[in-house]
Chain A
Amino acid sequence: MQPQVEIRFTLNHRVVTAAVPPTMALLELVRDRFQLTGAKLGCGEGECGACALLMDGEPVLGCLTPAVDADGREVLTAEGLCGAKGLSPLQQAFVNEGAVQCGYCTPGMEIAAEAVLLEHPTPTVEEIRRGLEGNLCRCTGYVAIVEAVQAAAGGGR
């Protein structure tokens, strides 16, 4: 039996609590207990980025971050990027630029892209591409995704 560790953190702008075993991944907690299924289990080994979450503004792997480490932090999923008026400007740019096809990689991509914009408000194309290097997409060939991040940064084309 593993002990249950009590944690308290902010999830998509709301304070939540949970008791979790130390080996539980944050992804599992967010998906299974809080029904936020935007982040996906694409591989479970850190290689695809479908599980990406923001933790205190830093992009992390949901699948390899222990849930216990969320304690006292602010966690954001793709659902949490949406504002009261719907999609965030970044998400809207994903829509407008054709960065979404099957959409499976999209929530993770958006998180990685959001992290790029937090670090570089007006990123170069190279900074965007390097910022997305941990996220796999099988549909788009990444071009439209990079364009979407540029558009969201106000860079246009």
Chain B
Amino acid sequence: MSQQASMRWIGARVPKLDAPWKASGEVRYLPDFVVGGMLHGKIRRSDRVHARVKSIDTSAAKKVPGVHVVLTAKDVENVAFGHGKDNTPFKGDVVRCIRDELAAVAADTEEAAEEACRLIRVEYEDLPALFDPRAALERGAPVIYPEWPDNKPFTYRYAHGDVKKAAAESAHVVEDEFDLTWVSHCCMGTSAIIAAFDTGGRLTLNSLTQVPFLYRRDMAAIVGMKPEDIRVIQPTIGGAFGSKLDIYPFEPIAVHLARAARRPVRIVFSRQEEFLASPTRQPAIIKLKSGCDARGRFTFRDAYVLLDNGGHTSWGATIPFVMMQTFSSLYRVPHVRFLTDVAYTNNPYSGSFRGYGNLQATFAIEQHVDRLAEKTGLDPLKMRLLNAQEPGEETGQGLKFVSCGLRDCLDSAAKRSRYEEKRAAKKGESGRRVKRGLGMASMLHVGGGAKIYRSDGCGSVLSIDDFGKVTLVTGSTDIGQGSETVLAQIVAEVLGVHLDRVKVVNSDTDVKPWDVGVHASRTSYVAGNSAMMAATQAREKLLKAAAEQHRLPVEELSLADNAVMHTPKSGVAKKLEPIDRLVRSLHFSDRAELLITQAYFEPGSVKQDKEFRGNVSPTYAFGTHVVEVEVELDTGLVKVLGVWAAHDVGKVLNALGIEGQIEGGVVMGLGYALTEQLKIERGKVLNPAFRDYHLLTAPEVPPIDCDYIETEDPTGPFGAKGVGEAPAICVAAAIANAVYDATGVRFTALPLTPERVLDGLIAAGVTKDVGAR
């Protein structure tokens, strides 16, 4: 698509359009607004991890003053849903994890609803439970679903080349088992919904979903309605990060309550409930074997991944789609095998989370890069450069890298962090109780969506009113990441109007055209291209109309400063006519034409075949992080001194926005690496509070240096690719490599809490234990 010589909006530091409203404290999130006659819904969950439900007695609950309805599985048509069709709004006969919903109450006040939930009496008969996916796959293990006697609802097999042969011929081979645990999204706004029926029986959902159209379709099936009778409104949202990609039981429960009570019902999770009952990042056990030849070129990678599916299936079970891309394609590896088993247990279940399996995969792979580098005698940076992908490459899995800035990312992060100098200078610090180390890691992620459905497209409708105000109605969703602003910038740039003339409408399925939703870092790319198409059509219409009216060749006309500009062949540009006047002249003329355009953009990616081969995304994001750490040998505390992040972003669309995405992502990655863990023991969450689930705080955040590699992908809007997920992905791997550099001890499990690190240091003899004398 054509590009203007100098751009006004693209690449600028543009504050988010909704930021002033949010900064004033006046914007209302779901827990902040009430609809007339609204009741409060609360859910009674299981006390057991695996049990037969013998009876549920709701009689006392029903008597609590203010209670309108109490529902259990018996009261509704309990339709199965989800990726594994193994979840239902209420659990009637068997509970399979502590999240399981047994009953729900709608009452005048939250207190009354809570009180009623407490008074519901449940009789259980405990069943043998499973907490370890390895045990779940053993012969004779208790069975969690009779339909899956082997407890194995999904497997994934991918391969290219001949791993066995390559392993035998490799000069160096390393092998490890990595153990990645549960972490929580910790959206500052907890899960919430308001369900309201109107008198005509239409349902309006104020929902936090990231995928409004798929949500509407799935919800319709669950609650027995037609999708077109459901309107999904997406109010401002207090963070998502992937957590709202699936439907969870509380949502249809709100609908059932509203229907039964004939009143609108709002459910808002408490923080504790959010920790207990919202999806987590998928835990994974990764057994990885990797090899290289004598010069350090990768020969093979052989991975076996075991995923704990918990008691029900959500998107966590599908992370192998993304994991295998990193195994097969982050570097050139001629022989790759990737096998995953997904096992039911009685633990909580996992959903999608920014990075979608890639943090786990990258943690394993990038530590192996360092291990092989050490065996080969190469510096980790040289090892990566030697094996890095390049533009034009098609990988063994069929991913096509039209643009690829991985080498530049490696070079930039190394240079800006003074990587080589610092690694060399480290030698003389033996004997000290605090050790410094430097580590690096790289990443690959889809940068323009992922075609996991038949379509990965997005629709746009654009109109310019009589006052020159441009309205873009986009199918896409803004979950706080600032996509709305980027779309407005694209439109403003194409139409030569000031940003304050552009309004983006994106929050109502009754109005907006179809879109898959926010996932796979696709919004800037897919919705951006769609908006750009609609804006380009509008521009052509405007220029054509102006050319006709002013009898000028269209090639001499352009748009800038809210006006049509005329640049005669010989002379300088001058203002011909303001856009609003031009639009009015179309409207109030014989042509009686309104300026409205529409576009639908479908990315040029393909749905992968049964062997998982195919170019699933039209473009890919790459990045490299270098981190510097300090490790206290006596306490195991790891302090991060600096992060240098270099990302192939295609093109910077909003300099302010991208900085925020990268800083936020890096800090999320640091939390994953160092402090965050949802501690689950025998199926129960031990730390459902911020007091014991540690997010990083401002004083702990190190300086973060961001560099953007602009590879200008020819298919992206102005060359951009999506980077929403990228910055969180390789942080933990880089930290683990840095801790190794500092201490000589490798850690294969997260998070690197002081306690875990000290255990490792003592086991390796780096630190002397007390009592060891």
Contact = CB atoms under 8 A, between A and B. Distances in A.
A94 B698 contact: no
B189 A40 contact: yes
Interface residues of A, number: 56
Interface in B676-711: 689-691, 695-699, 701, 704
A36 B501 CA distance: 30
B667 interface: yes
B664 A38 contact: no
Nearest to B22: A103
B238 A141 contact: no
Contacts of A117: none
A154 interface: no
Interface in A28-82: 31, 36-45, 47-48, 50, 77-79, 81-82
A122 interface: no
B54 to A, nearest CB: 34
A129 to B, nearest CB: 4
Contacts of A43: 271, 689-690
B34 to A, nearest CB: 10
Nearest to B479: A102
A48 B696 CA distance: 11
Interface in A126-155: 126, 128-130, 132-146
Contacts of B188: 40, 42, 48, 50, 102, 104-105, 136-139
Given A42-B271, A87-B20, A139-B239, A101 B660 contact: yes
Contacts of A103: 18-19, 22-23, 27, 236, 238, 480
Contacts of A132: 697-699
A13 B699 CA distance: 32
A138 B186 contact: yes
Contacts of A92: 20, 23
A125 to B, nearest CB: 10
Interface in B716-773: none
Given A43-B271, A91-B23, A95-B23, A140 B664 contact: yes
A152 to B, nearest CB: 11
A98 interface: yes
A108 B318 CA distance: 37
- Looking at chain B's contact residues, is the secondary structure mostly helix, strand, loop, or mixed? loop
Nearest to A32: B34
Contact of A78 (B24, B185, B480): B24
B668 interface: yes
B16 A146 contact: no
Contacts of A94: 19, 23
A138 B187 contact: yes
Contacts of B701: 129, 141-143
A140 B663 contact: yes
Interface residues of B, number: 54
B667 A142 contact: yes
A102 B480 contact: yes
B448 interface: no
Contacts of B29: 37, 40, 104
Interface string B526-544: 0000000000000000000
Contacts of B16: 95, 98, 100-101
A104 B239 contact: yes
B31 A40 contact: yes
Contact of B704 (A37, A47, A143): A143
B690 A136 contact: yes
A78 B188 CA distance: 17
Contact of B697 (A36, A82, A136): A136
Contacts of A137: 188
Given A42-B188, A138-B241, A98 B695 contact: no
A95 B15 contact: yes
A132 B660 CA distance: 18
B690 A45 contact: yes
A98 B660 contact: yes
Given A91-B23, A104-B188, A110-B23, A141 B668 contact: yes
B486 interface: no
Interface string B399-424: 00000000000000000000000000
A37 B189 CA distance: 13
A128 B697 CA distance: 12
B311 interface: no
Interface in B436-485: 479-482
A134 B25 CA distance: 19
Contacts of B189: 40, 102, 104
A43 B29 CA distance: 16
A105 to B, nearest CB: 5
B23 A100 contact: yes
A155 to B, nearest CB: 16
Interface string B85-111: 000000000000000000000000000
Contact of A141 (B20, B23, B236, B666): B666
Given A92-B23, A95-B20, A95-B23, A140 B271 contact: no
Contacts of A91: 20, 23-24
A84 to B, nearest CB: 13
A45 B749 CA distance: 30
B25 A47 contact: no
A140 B18 contact: no
B634 interface: no
Interface in B17-74: 18-20, 22-29, 31-33
A4 interface: no
Given A107-B25, A132-B698, A96 B690 contact: no
B667 A48 contact: no
A44 B690 CA distance: 10
Nearest to A41: B31
Nearest to B28: A37
B657 interface: yes
Contact of A98 (B15, B186, B239, B479): B15
Given A106-B23, A135-B698, 10 more contacts: A40-B29, A82-B24, A92-B20, A101-B664, A133-B699, A138-B187, A139-B481, A140-B664, A144-B659, A146-B698
CB-based closest 10 A-B pairs = A38-B25, A102-B480, A103-B22, A78-B25, A141-B667, A104-B238, A47-B690, A37-B32, A141-B663, A104-B188
Interface of A: 31, 36-45, 47-48, 50, 77-79, 81-82, 86-87, 91-92, 94-98, 100-107, 110, 126, 128-130, 132-146
30 contacts: A37-B25, A40-B188, A41-B31, A43-B689, A45-B691, A47-B690, A48-B271, A50-B188, A86-B24, A87-B20, A87-B23, A94-B19, A95-B19, A96-B15, A98-B656, A100-B15, A101-B660, A102-B187, A103-B19, A104-B188, A104-B238, A106-B23, A110-B25, A126-B699, A130-B699, A138-B186, A141-B660, A141-B664, A141-B668, A145-B698
